[in-house]
Amino acid sequence: MGDQFLQYVLNGILSGGILALPAIAFSLLYGILRFPNFAIGTYITAGGFIAYAANVTLGLPIPLAFLLTMVLCGFLGVGVDQLAFRPMRERRPLTLAIVSIGVSFILENMARFIWGNDLRSYNLPVQRGMEWGGVRIGKEQLIILLVSLIFMVWVQLLLKYSRLGKSMRAVADNPMLASVKGIDSEGIIFRTSYLGAALTGAAGIMVGIDTAIDPLMGFKLILSIFAAAILGGIGSATTAVGGAFFVGFAEEVSMIWLPATYKSAIGFGMIVLVLLFRPAGLFRRTQVI
């Protein structure tokens, strides 16, 4: 039982690492645009399939496919923002939330149209997992976790020290003041859309390596991503990471008692509990985004 518990904890850390990037992206976008973007889920799907095309169809090695996917997903995010969200900047945020659902339907079905509903996987050499004292971990999973951690740190540094990060925080904190100070808010939205979709696309490959690639791979994670962002106190990219690990951990450990099919119900349950008892999130907020 002890070993088994450790295994679940480890799995929790791994899924937290995968959830963290989309949760950061969701929080960044929410901070700037002020609506819950449901299209985040399909950016995962898009990332998974773009990497599939690069890796399997074109035969590129995974690291190269990874970079290509991030670049292309960024453009996808910008394209979606320009075509679907930009004409509606002045509307009620909820109208945009509905539009984002429409976007996610379109993207998911474009993937379905091209690749169908089958489960797919990347061309990866089969590697032996490592094992210490009954706890197993795959080499790919370790790399995923490491890459994800690097990106988390990078985003934090970007937000804290770079000019872009400071402008993003300024727009999130007070758009009016930011524009008075001469910050070009459309430019910030453009770059945040790129960054958010690129990070989420990266998570898409991770999901694809860890499980499988299919048109619903992103939508299935949307509740967990929202749960992570809400636990982190919606709109904060720093605490979203904490939220992601918390949700990942809770989902995996709950598998000790619950059938695996109910995994995403854990995320939902946590959303409801947090909303009822701690609507500002689990952590004390110190800064915007």
Q: Which is nearer to another protein, 58 or 106 (CB)?
A: 106
Q: Which is nearer to another protein, 33 or 68 (CB)?
A: 33
CB of 82 to another protein, least distance (A): 12
Q: Which is nearer to another protein, 55 or 224 (CB)?
A: 224
Cβ count within 10 A of residue 113? 9
Gyration radius of the chain over CA positions: 18
CB of 87 to another protein, least distance (A): 5
CB of 287 to another protein, least distance (A): 19
What is the rounded distance in angstroms from the CA atom of residue 258 to the CA atom of residue 249?
A: 14
**Number of H-type helices and E-type strands within the chain:** 11, 2
Q: Which is nearer to another protein, 30 or 151 (CB)?
A: 30
CB of 271 to another protein, least distance (A): 6
CB of 209 to another protein, least distance (A): 25
- The pair phi, psi for residue 130, each rounded to 5°, is -100, 155
Burial of 177 (0-12, 13-18, 19+ CB in 10 A): exposed
Q: Which is nearer to another protein, 190 or 268 (CB)?
A: 268
Both structure tokens of 218: 């992103």
Q: Which is nearer to another protein, 36 or 165 (CB)?
A: 36
Both structure tokens of 42: 């399909």
CB of 12 to another protein, least distance (A): 20
Both structure tokens of 21: 């990037």
Cβ count within 10 A of residue 56? 15
40-52 vs 222-231: helix crossing angle, rounded to 10: 130
CA 279 to chain centre: 21
Binding region for another protein (CB under 8 A) = 35-36, 38, 84, 87-88, 91-95, 97-99, 101-106, 108-110, 112-113, 116-117, 219, 222-223, 226, 230, 234, 259, 261-262, 264-265, 267-268, 271-272, 275-276, 279
HSE at residue 96, side-chain half, CA atoms within 13 A, is: 21
Q: Which is nearer to another protein, 91 or 136 (CB)?
A: 91
